[in-house]
């Protein structure tokens, strides 16, 4: 299998190399700070622009931002709690369910894709 070629960044496609900064120290931090700035801008925009809603609750300032943040946080925490009840070993239903199968590429190895 050619999945594990020696790790040399020069062999990556150009587009892949263009995003390598994500993996450098500080890359994730940069993404996070960009997100913070965008969120702050959206809060400001909420007060600057007129928005038309169908329901009275939509008039509440930054309603959508609050809804998005708190519902998602609640959802994630809920999932963590639910996992305690729902989680089972991989072969819970059948021993073969979790088994690793040969990669489809290997099965199709004889095919010439550039035909």
Partner 1 sequence: MLDALPTAFLFFLAALILPILPRGPLRSLLVLIVPVVAGLAVYALPMGNLVQAEFFGFTLDLMRVDPLSRVFALLFCIAAFLGGLFAWHLRDTVQQVAMLLYVGAAIGAVFAGDLVTLFFYWEGTAISSVFLIWARRSEASYFSGMRYLTIQIGSGVMLLAGIILHYSATGSIAFDAMTLDSPASWLIFIAFGIKAAFILLNNWMIDAYPSATVTGTVILSAFTTKLAIYALARGFAGTELLIYIGAATAVYPLIWAQLENDLRRVVAYALNLQQGFMFVGIGIGTELALNGAIAHAFVGVLYGMLLFMTLGAVMYRTGTSRATDLGGIYKTMPLTALFCLVGAASISAFPLFAGFVSKSLIISAAAKGSHYVVWGCLLLASAGGFLVCGLKVPFFAFFSKDGSLRPREAPGHMLLVMGLTAVLCVLAGTNPTALYALLPYDVSYQPYSTGHIITQLQLLLFSALAFALLLPTRLYPRPNPTVNLDFDWVYRRLLLGAIGLLAIPVRGFFRALDRFKAGPLKALIRTLYNTYGPMARTSQFWPTGAMVLWIAILLGVTLLVSYAS
* Cα distances (Å, whole numbers) of residue 11 to 25, 37, 73, 77: 21, 35, 40, 41
CB atoms near residue 102 (< 10 Å)? 8
CB of 25 or CB of 49, closer to partner 1:
49
For the segment 9-28, give every residue that binds partner 1 (CB under 8 A): 9, 12-13, 15-20, 22-23
For the segment 78-107, give every residue that binds partner 1 (CB under 8 A): 78-80, 82-83, 85-90, 92-94, 96-106
From the CB of 48, what's the least distance to partner 1, in Å? Answer: 9
* Residue from 45, 41, 38, 39 nearest 65 by CA: 39
Q: Does residue 60 touch partner 1 according to CB under 8 A?
A: no
Count of chain residues binding partner 1 (CB under 8 A): 79
From the CB of 25, what's the least distance to partner 1, in Å? Answer: 13
Residue 77 in tokens? 């925490």
Q: Does residue 61 touch partner 1 according to CB under 8 A?
A: no
Instruction: Rule CB under 8 A: choose which of 30, 60, 72, 109 binds partner 1.
Output: 72
N residues, the chain: 115
Q: Does residue 109 touch partner 1 according to CB under 8 A?
A: no
* Residue from 30, 1, 31 nearest 108 by CA: 1
Query: 20, 9 in Cβ contact below 8 A?
Result: yes
């Amino acid at each position: 299998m050619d999945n594990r070629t020696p790790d040399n960044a020069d062999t990556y496609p150009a587009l892949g190399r263009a995003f390598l900064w994500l993996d450098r120290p500080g890359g994730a931090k940069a993404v996070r700070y960009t997100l913070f700035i965008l969120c702050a801008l959206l809060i400001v925009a909420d007060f600057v622009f007129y928005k038309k809603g169908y329901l009275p609750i939509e008039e509440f300032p930054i309603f959508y931002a609050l809804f998005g943040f708190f519902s998602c946080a609640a959802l994630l925490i809920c999932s963590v709690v639910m996992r305690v009840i729902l989680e089972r070993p991989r072969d819970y239903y059948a021993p073969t369910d979790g088994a690793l199968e040969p990669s489809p590429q290997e099965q199709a190895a004889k095919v010439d894709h550039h035909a």
